[in-house]
Amino acid sequence: MANSAEVKLSEEDLQRFYDLNNEKQEIEKELKQLKKQIHHYFDQTFGSGEKAEVKLGKYKAQRSIRASVKYDDEKTVEKLEELNLKEFIVEVKQPDTDKLESAMKLDFVDEQDFAECKKERISQAITVKELSI
């Protein structure tokens, strides 16, 4: 541990974490329902997928609409090749890491050669469950 000060954890701390996590889930569920209700109101009043705003008392709700365009890579490349527009196609070089890992396991490739290329990401998660005692 980086800090030499004593760190304490009690049953009450775990209980508080557990209770807050349950409250969070209930709040998220209620927020989802209210968001759905507001979208439904805006759909009925202003039209589906339309920008909208409503003021009720001291509150204002707004719905903004964001649009993005994404091309299907495979179909687009196929169409570009069909129309002889190859200059609009980008060739992307990327390693086949599955094959590389397999080759390392079979000792066809020395893992040390790629040690500086490898980046490992570690994430942490905490779960607290109530035990039935």
- The predicted model scores a pTM of 0.61
Q: CB within 8 A of 25, min separation 6: which ones? A: none
pLDDT in tens, 48-103: 989 999 999 999 999 999 889 999 999 999 999 999 999 999 988 999 999 999 99
